[in-house]
Amino acid sequence: MDLFFFKCALSLYLLGSLGYILFIILQRKPLARISYGVLWVGFLSHSLSIGLWSMQHGYFPVHSLREALSFFAWAIIGVYLLIQWRFNILVLGSFLSPLASVMMISSSFLPYQNEAVNPLIRNLWLMIHIGTIFVGNGIFAVAFLAGIMYLIQERQIKSKQFGPFYHRLPSLEVLDSLNYNCLILGFPFLTLGMLSGAVFAQYTLGTFWRWDPKEVWSLITWLIYAVLLHGRLTTGWRGRRSAMISIIGFLVLIFSFLGGNILLKGYHSFSAFKDSGPEVRHTEPGKGIHN
Amino acid sequence: MEIVLIGVNHKSAPVELRERLSGFLTLNGPAHASLKGQFGLKEALFLNTCNRVEILFTSDLPDQTIEDMKAFWSNGIVQAPGVPLPGFYIYRNEEAVCHLFRVAASLDSMVIGEPQILGQIKEAYRQAVDHRTTGVILNRLLHKAFSVAKRIRTETGIASHAVSVSFAAVELGKKIFQDLAGKKVLLIGAGEMAELAAEHLLNNKVQQIMVANRTLERALEMAKRWHGRALSLEEISTALMEADIVISSTGAPETILFYPEVKAIMKQRRQRPLFFIDIAVPRDIDPKINEIDNVYLYDIDDLQGIVAQNIAERKQEALQAERIIQEEWIKFRSWLEGIEVVPTILALRKKMEDIQQGEWKKAGAALQGLSPEQLKAVEIMAQSIINKVLHDPITYLKEQLAEDKKNEKIDQIQKIFNLIEGMEVD
């Protein structure tokens, strides 16, 4: 059943993206309003899919790249829907919904896994860890897109060459304040996510911090955003510099998201979630007899 | 019946001629009153603005009316009869209607997309209505023109984006600051252009205007007008700490604001954006400051470049508007064709009813013995025969066809039923 709602969500996101892309080309507001509604329905369907899965398994679906990508897309769309409601920047959807759609498509091509996982994964601290980290990621994705939009718009105003984006993108002030608000909002989520992760590590592994590659990269990400936030609050960093750092921060974040789970070895990698992971097999008594 | 438009505009005739013509037409009071019913004008509308003098009319003898009008206008601008009128255009039917649509939508204006012309046409129409010079056709046509103008405004970009330097500056400001409300403006130097820009900014609800000028007296005078603050030139650095938009237009021969100075100020301002508009020639502000983060500098050439680009864009959009005009002309034409056959249909019906009346009288004695119910039945029967007989010729007339075929049909029906006499009496 969760798969059915996942497919619904995917189709609706694609439809919404198409509408938003047509909106930025044709500049017909109703297109964006309809797409916004379509994204809402897609988001509800997606939430249902994730909810059903989580109820069935007792934890959030992040044990494979397929699930993690879908969860990431869910967080991005959710954050966007709230930001749209609060800030009303329709054109943001034209950038954001394709990003979420690409994630969903990638996710749908990966194999659907329904195998047993390490029981350690069913833990409240871990739920908080995953939940807050992904919401933070979604918010930073918006900051990233706001940064890109800012750089495009700033380039046009500085160079005095107005391309087709000039009239379609919002003003620099709006984009900069969107960047700022995302930073203010996203940073606590990221921080909370890392703290709850540390608590979970202490609870299960007996240590708060193990220099796992993903931990290191996450710390780097956190430091980048911390420096940016500090710069904004104290010395008035804004505009171009802030946009650039948000973009770099998000790229590092994506690297630690993908790299930490696939490329780099460590207990964050997807293979470690499996019940029959290599580490577990060695410690399990009796297996050797059967072999 | 034809719709005709005769006139001159800013493209076809020099201003002296337009002035003479406009003066002549209003010599004996309002043109609508003095020309009502003259030269075979059935319906008429005069449009008299600084860029055009036009008369739109309908006439049953259009060729004659056009000749008379030409003679009258030649006479008016004191020109020997027979010499062709300079700069006049004469449009008939489709051309006339499309021209009116173009004028109303501001496609024929000096600055494409300027909004005043529609108001001027509405005013001209109001006067025509007051003097009762419009009828079924012009009423319908004018209302159509208003809706066409509105449609073109909303569906194309002919009225979007600034086509004056000061509006272009305001538009840019909105792309940097979103909302100009609450922003502070510093004027350095107090030229006419700066004044105009300041007025536009005030219309956009900027919070305060500060005026720095070489002669403090002039600064005080302007500051008073806008409830702002007057400064001396030495106070500019401190004012730059507060200002968001700076408009510089001094007559100074050398640069007055340099890169290092602005760079230092930005640090003290904690990088709050600063928008410089340098409309002075020679320039007041070092062009290099545009490279500083969160500083935006536009000089007069940049702004004029934007204006030229926007004008070109409007011209591009005007091409799209032509499509709308064609569509609306087709709609109007089918209405017009419908109305052309109306007199023939009325005459046809009248003829039938006359016959019925005649026959009724003839049969008067024979019908006397009938009861009221029977009389009623006979009357209903006669009426129903008329309706059934007329159904086919009316359908035949109302068929959608090209203009010449249409007239041929009307002619046929009129001959078959011998309606010419009846219509002349009418």
User: What pLDDT digit, counting tens, does each position of A31-48 carry?
Assistant: 999 999 999 999 999 999
Distance from CA of A156 to the nearest CA of B (A): 11
Which chain A residues have any C-beta within 8 angstroms of a chain B C-beta?
153, 157-158, 160, 162, 166-167, 170-174, 235-241
A37/A32 Cα distance (integer angstroms): 9
Average pLDDT over residues A7-30: 91
- pLDDT given at position A158: 92
In this complex, the residue of A167, A171, A240 whose CB is nearest that of residue B176 is A171
Per CB-CB distance under 8 Å, the chain B contacts of A237 are 271
Q: Which long-range contacts (CB under 8 A, 24 or more apart) does B410-414 make?
A: B410/B340, B410/B341, B410/B344, B413/B344, B413/B348, B414/B344, B414/B347
| b/e B165-197 (16+ beta carbons within 10 angstroms → b) | bbbbbbbbbebbbbebeebbbbbbbbbebbbbb
Question: Which of the given ranges, A59-63, B70-74, B165-169, B351-355, has the highest pLDDT on average?
Answer: B351-355
Residue B225 above 90 pLDDT?
Answer: no
**C-alpha distances out from residue B294 to A182, A228, B13, B366, Å:** 20, 17, 50, 103
- pLDDT given at position B81: 59
- If phi > 0 it is left, if psi is from -120 to 50 it is alpha, else beta; for residue A236 that is left
Q: How far is CA A44 from the centre of its chain?
A: 17
B338/B397 Cα distance (integer angstroms): 9
Residue B144 above 80 pLDDT?
Answer: yes
In this complex, the residue of B178, B298, B309 whose CB is nearest that of residue A173 is B178
3-state secondary structure of B285: strand
Instruction: Choose among B85, B267, B174: nearest CA to A241.
Output: B267
Per CB-CB distance under 8 Å, the chain A contacts of B175 are 153, 157, 166, 171-172
pLDDT: which is higher, A278 or B33? B33
ipTM summary value: 0.81
Q: Name every residue whose Cβ is closer than 8 Å to that of residue A13 and which is 6 or more positions away in sequence.
A: A39, A42, A46, A73, A77, A97, A100, A101, A104
3-state secondary structure of A278: helix
pLDDT above 70 coverage of chain A, percent: 86
**If pLDDT is split at 50, 70 and 90, which confidence band does A10 have?**
very high
* Record: contact A173-B293, CB cut-off 8 A: no
* Record: contact A171-B177, CB cut-off 8 A: yes
In this complex, the residue of A158, A236, A238 whose CB is nearest that of residue B290 is A158
Q: Name every residue whose Cβ is closer than 8 Å to that of residue A258 and which is 6 or more positions away in sequence.
A: A65
Which candidate in B50, B355, B367, B385 is catalytic? Answer: B50
3-state secondary structure of A171: coil
User: Given CB atoms, is B290 within the 8 Å cutoff of chain A?
Assistant: yes
User: What pLDDT digit, counting tens, does each position of A205-223 carry?
Assistant: 778 877 777 788 889 999 9
B153/A167 Cα distance (integer angstroms): 17
- pLDDT given at position A281: 34
Distance from CA of A34 to the nearest CA of B (A): 20
User: What pLDDT digit, counting tens, does each position of B390-426 carry?
Assistant: 888 888 887 766 666 777 777 888 888 887 665 544 3
pLDDT above 70 coverage of chain B, percent: 95
* Record: contact A172-B298, CB cut-off 8 A: no
B164/B110 Cα distance (integer angstroms): 13
Query: Which strands form B245-248's sheet, in the order they lie side by side?
Result: B229-231, B208-212, B184-188, B245-248, B274-278, B295-299
B184/B393 Cα distance (integer angstroms): 75
Average pLDDT over residues B363-373: 83
Choose, out of B156, B174, B178, the residue to mutate when testing the contact with A (most A CBs < 10 Å): B178
**Catalytic annotation on B50?**
yes
Burial label, B247 (beta-carbon count in 10 A; 0-12, 13-18, 19+): buried
Residue B164 above 50 pLDDT?
Answer: yes
Instruction: Choose among B181, B142, B201, B77: nearest CA to B332.
Output: B142
Dig out the tokens for A178 from the structure. 């969107």
In this complex, the residue of A160, A162, A238 whose CB is nearest that of residue B271 is A238
Average pLDDT over residues B79-102: 82
Instruction: Choose among B274, B268, B182: nearest CA to A236.
Output: B268
**If pLDDT is split at 50, 70 and 90, which confidence band does A260 have?**
low
**Residue A146 contacts residue A184 (beta carbons within 8 Å):** no
* Record: contact A171-B175, CB cut-off 8 A: yes
User: What pLDDT digit, counting tens, does each position of A76-115 carry?
Assistant: 999 999 998 888 888 999 999 999 999 999 888 887 766 6
Distance from CA of A238 to the nearest CA of B (A): 7
- pLDDT given at position A155: 93
Q: Give the residues across from A40 on adjacent strands.
A: none
In this complex, the residue of A160, A166, A239 whose CB is nearest that of residue B271 is A239
**Residue B163 contacts residue B310 (beta carbons within 8 Å):** yes
In chain B the first and final C-alpha atoms are separated, in Å, by 16
pLDDT above 90 coverage of chain B, percent: 23
- pLDDT given at position B101: 94
Per CB-CB distance under 8 Å, the chain B contacts of A162 are 306, 309
Average pLDDT over residues B11-17: 83
- pLDDT given at position A276: 43
User: What pLDDT digit, counting tens, does each position of B263-305 carry?
Assistant: 999 988 888 999 999 988 888 899 999 999 999 999 988 988 8
A267/A273 Cα distance (integer angstroms): 8
- pLDDT given at position A40: 94
**Residue B106 contacts residue B117 (beta carbons within 8 Å):** yes
- pLDDT given at position B84: 66
B225/B208 Cα distance (integer angstroms): 12
* Record: contact A162-B172, CB cut-off 8 A: no
**If pLDDT is split at 50, 70 and 90, which confidence band does A291 have?**
very low
* Record: contact A238-B294, CB cut-off 8 A: yes
Chains A, B: CB pairs < 8 Å: 47
**Residue B101 contacts residue B145 (beta carbons within 8 Å):** yes
**C-alpha distances out from residue B105 to A118, A245, B120, B400, Å:** 72, 48, 12, 29
Distance from CA of B305 to the nearest CA of A (A): 9
Closest-CA residue of A relative to B302 is A160
Average pLDDT over residues A226-234: 91
Average pLDDT over residues A151-171: 90
Rounded to 10 deg, the angle between the B165-177 and B192-203 helix axes is 50
- pLDDT given at position A289: 29
Rounded to 10 deg, the angle between the B136-155 and B116-130 helix axes is 170
- pLDDT given at position A126: 82
Q: Residue type at B425? A: V
Dig out the tokens for A241 from the structure. 């510099």
In this complex, the residue of A157, A235, A241 whose CB is nearest that of residue B293 is A241
Place of tokens 């800030």: A87
DSSP B407-423: HHHHHHHHHHTT-HHHH
- pLDDT given at position B424: 46
User: What pLDDT digit, counting tens, does each position of B92-121 carry?
Assistant: 988 999 999 999 999 988 888 888 899 999
- pLDDT given at position A280: 35
- If phi > 0 it is left, if psi is from -120 to 50 it is alpha, else beta; for residue A159 that is alpha
Window 253-272 of B, Cβ < 8 Å to A: 269-272
A37/A15 Cα distance (integer angstroms): 11
* Record: contact A239-B293, CB cut-off 8 A: yes
- pLDDT given at position B414: 82
**Residue A269 contacts residue A260 (beta carbons within 8 Å):** yes
Residue B362 above 90 pLDDT?
Answer: no
**Residue A129 contacts residue A200 (beta carbons within 8 Å):** yes
B240/A17 Cα distance (integer angstroms): 44
Average pLDDT over residues B226-234: 87
Residue A248 above 80 pLDDT?
Answer: yes
Write phi, then psi, for B308 (nearest 5 degrees): -60, -40
* Record: contact A172-B176, CB cut-off 8 A: yes
B170/B333 Cα distance (integer angstroms): 43
**C-alpha distances out from residue B250 to A279, B32, B188, B312, Å:** 78, 51, 6, 31
* Record: contact A173-B305, CB cut-off 8 A: no
Per CB-CB distance under 8 Å, the chain B contacts of A235 are 270
User: What pLDDT digit, counting tens, does each position of A46-66 carry?
Assistant: 999 988 888 887 777 777 788
* Record: contact A236-B270, CB cut-off 8 A: yes
A212/B111 Cα distance (integer angstroms): 67
